[in-house]
Amino acid sequence: MTSGRKGIKGLKGRGKPRPVSAFFEGNEYKWNGRFNGFVRFIRTASGRIVPITLTEAKQKAARRVQTNENEQAAQMIGADVARERRNETPLGTYDDVVHVPIKGRRLDIWANSRKNLDALVEEFKPARFKLTAIIFALVNFKIDVWKAYWRAPLGVINMLNRELLRAQKMFGTVGYFKKTLPGDKDLGENDYASYNGADGTVRIRVKLDEESLADKIRFAYNQYLFSTRAPEHVFRHEIGHAVYELASRKNRELFRERENQLRELLYRYRTDRKLRDACLVSNYGSESTREFFAECFASVMNGDQNPLAIKAVNLFKELVE
């Protein structure tokens, strides 16, 4: 009879248990010789199973993000060099943005005061009932708003209808805007609306009343996330996405040309501190060309005297007229 605890089956009489790395020895697995945190297994292209630590996974993700950013910057620089080779006037330097018009047009073509912009929608009368607001959107804009409008507060509904009318007066269209849907379950925690260009759908947060929306927009503006502090900003931003999408569908060739110019404009905005300080748009708008245009569009609809925003919007205005 032996004393003490019995050894583990298969390991009795062998001394110390084998290390974890021993389980990954051989041709089937590749192991780095140490157990560093959580381990998950991935299958390579050759079919081999390779363990990867959580730290390594994070490092690979960071390198992938950095690579994408470097590729985007290289594309912008390449377009900048190609433009200089064609001896064209650079877009986006401070002096050019402030003083040089686009093809002879005045830069302040839409730099109207807020008073003049409000005059465009003076005929708009806020609806007293949701059904009236739904009919107004269907008749004037051909937008299916039933599901979202029926659940949203009346003040928010009237706000969106007024901005749709304002955009139609200014640009002759509300863009590729087909329907609205409630988006409380789909939107992120800090999102108030989103646009899907594939089917022209705008999802809005229907549980947010007018006062709460105004407070959140004002907070985002103070954090330099939005270009204006107006409560209507979120709707103007999404209408800007719809106008951008419509421009891409009407004339692909001309749209690509204007999009490259907008990309150069955004590149100058990112790299030229003097331009950024004089014509501040928003940090959110600097993420991509689409967001940059949407933020500039919201600024123009607000009546801001921002020559950079006006120039960006003018690039696509004739494509949707």
Pairs from 220-226 (Cβ < 8 Å, separation ≥ 24): 223/283, 224/280, 224/282, 224/283, 225/282, 225/283, 225/284, 226/282, 226/284, 226/295, 226/298
Going from N- to C-terminal start, the domains of the chain cover 14-88, 94-320
**192 neighbors 208 (Cβ within 8 angstroms):** yes
Do 315 and 258 touch, CB atoms closer than 8 A?
A: yes
End-to-end CA distance of the chain: 97
Helix axes 210-222, 154-171, angle to 10 degrees: 60
Beta strands in 164-260 (DSSP E): 179-182, 193-196, 201-204
- Look at residue 111 in the predicted model and tell me its pLDDT: 45
The pLDDT value recorded for residue 7 is: 44
Can you tell me whether residue 75 is helix, strand or coil? helix
**Which pLDDT score is estimated for 74?**
52
pLDDT at residue number 90: 37
The predicted pLDDT at position 244 comes to 96
**204-256: pLDDT as tens digits:** 999 888 888 899 898 888 888 899 999 999 999 999 999 999 999 998 999 99
Whether the pTM exceeds 0.85: the reply is: no
Q: Which of 64, 104, 100 is nearest to 268 (CA)?
A: 100
pLDDT of residue 188: 81
pLDDT at residue number 44: 44
Residues 208 and 214: their CA atoms lie apart, in Å, by: 10
Q: Which residues of the chain have pLDDT under 70?
A: 1-116
